[in-house]
Amino acid sequence: MVKSLEELGQKAARAKYEVQRLGTEEKNKALAAVAENLTARQDMILAANAIDVKNGEDKGMSSGLLDRLKLTEDRIAGMAEGLMQIVKLPDPIGEVLETFQRPNGLFIEKKRVPMGVIGIIYESRPNVTADAFGLCFKSGNAVILKGGSDAIHSNKAIMDVIREALENSGVTPDAILMIEAVDRTVTQEFMRMKEYVDVLIPRGGAGLIRSVVENSTIPVIETGTGNCHIYVDESADLEKAIPIIINAKTQRVGVCNACESLVVHKAVKEKLLPALAEKLMEKNVEIRGDEQVQQVIDCIPAAEEDYGTEYLDYIISMKTVSGLDEAIAHINKYNTKHSEAIITENAENAERFLNEVDAACVYVNASTRFTDGFEFGFGAEIGISTQKLHARGPMGLRELTSYKYTIKGNGQIRG
């Protein structure tokens, strides 16, 4: 391991015990001090950000990426506000999940504890730096961040401001550590720091996530990719269906819980599709449909790979099916286990869809856009998990914790 990573790991290993011991009050005070310092030091952060933005412009970064990269006073205020929202959330640490006494007198408690050290690998969105720190810290963890190299000056400035506030609050500044090297081999080594990092969470596009899954020896939580479907059943109320589809597709196209594909029962295609297509056209959504869809509306023919594509754009694929079984099979074949919805007035079909579709969040008669920590009432989230191990769906503070068993005896030995 390169020396800088080894040192970082050792710092995190010491810091995690300090963070773990902090009480709720101490953590909240420190978070409030960090929020305050972000605003107090915004000129320094904006100056650092200006360097990143200038470098981005010089290398011809797209306007979308530049927009994600750019900080403003408002965005810094948003980061501070995000931390204050985390202050208000209940502290998950110390919660007793179960207690039981064994016949031999052993008293066993299952208690919620921090993970220890959480690693976050993310792209060039500097606001993630403050968010990720806040969530990891409140849940009692130390965090090692590896942000996109295009945001390195911004991220470093934000980290310095956080560390300063922590130190002034009497908390170890090593609760937040950052890998500043932009060298790819360092990132590769980071993903193998199993001795020091308990869980690794990639936040970003499909390519980043794939790379982390392929290379990490640290347990990973996969987040993000969402090839989400809406299935309009034979018995659907079209007054519900159309607004839900429009909302799920167009309210924000670049997010993981946006609808990418419509599955339509062939019995409703004539009633649904013309009216729906009109609304979608108003929003400039391109439709890629199968043969039966093409018979009813003007659209681009869908290729097989359309059904497996997360467009994150003003495009929707459409597929007709002859019943619920075919709809469920199609969705389970192509989905990314994120969010799926059925529009139906048939309670039995709703129940079967809820049970048999394999996804973190399965909806009846509602937009897939609700898969979100705030919408679920969890508060801020670190991401949406699309794997089944550990956490599924929106991951808030509780999902950043583990548990341990404590066992009290008075001399018990095993016979």
Site for its own copies in 176-205 (CB under 8 A): 194, 198-199
Part of the chain binding its own copies (CB under 8 A), chosen from 22-30, 120-128, 174-182, 369-377: 369-377
Binds its own copies by CB under 8 A, chosen from 72, 99, 188, 412: 412
Query: Residue 249 belongs to what H/E stretch?
Result: helix 238-250
Nearer to its own copies, 86 or 258 (CB): 258
Contact 125, 68 (CB under 8 A): yes
- Rounded to whole angstroms, the Cα distance separating 312 from 83 reads 28
> Shortest gap between Cβ of 216 and its own copies (angstroms)?
9
24 binds its own copies, rule: CB under 8 A: no
> Shortest gap between Cβ of 6 and its own copies (angstroms)?
15
DSSP helix/strand/coil, 220: strand
Count of CB atoms situated within 10 Å of the CB of 18: 13
Nearer to its own copies, 60 or 100 (CB): 100
DSSP string for residues in 283-323: TT-EEEE-HHHHHHS--EEPPGGGGG----SSEEEEEEESS
Binds its own copies by CB under 8 A, chosen from 131, 367, 379, 386: 367
Residue with tokens 């529009």: 343
Contact 401, 140 (CB under 8 A): yes
Tell me the one-letter amino acid at 113: V
> Shortest gap between Cβ of 332 and its own copies (angstroms)?
8
Tell me the one-letter amino acid at 240: K
120 binds its own copies, rule: CB under 8 A: no
Contact 338, 226 (CB under 8 A): yes
- Rounded to whole angstroms, the Cα distance separating 379 from 397 reads 9
377 binds its own copies, rule: CB under 8 A: yes
Nearer to its own copies, 17 or 314 (CB): 17
Binds its own copies by CB under 8 A, chosen from 175, 361, 380, 382: 361
Contact 155, 178 (CB under 8 A): yes
**By rule CB under 8 A, what string of x and - marks binding of each residue 327-356 to its own copies?**
-----x-----------------x---xxx
**By rule CB under 8 A, what string of x and - marks binding of each residue 225-264 to its own copies?**
------------x-xx--xx-xxx--x-------------
- Short-list 216, 127, 131, 76, CA closest to 397: 131
Q: Which residues bind its own copies (CB under 8 A)?
A: 17, 20-21, 100, 102, 106, 108, 115-116, 194, 198-199, 213-214, 217, 219-221, 237, 239-240, 243-244, 246-248, 251, 332, 350, 354-356, 358-367, 369-370, 375-377, 387-390, 392-393, 402-414
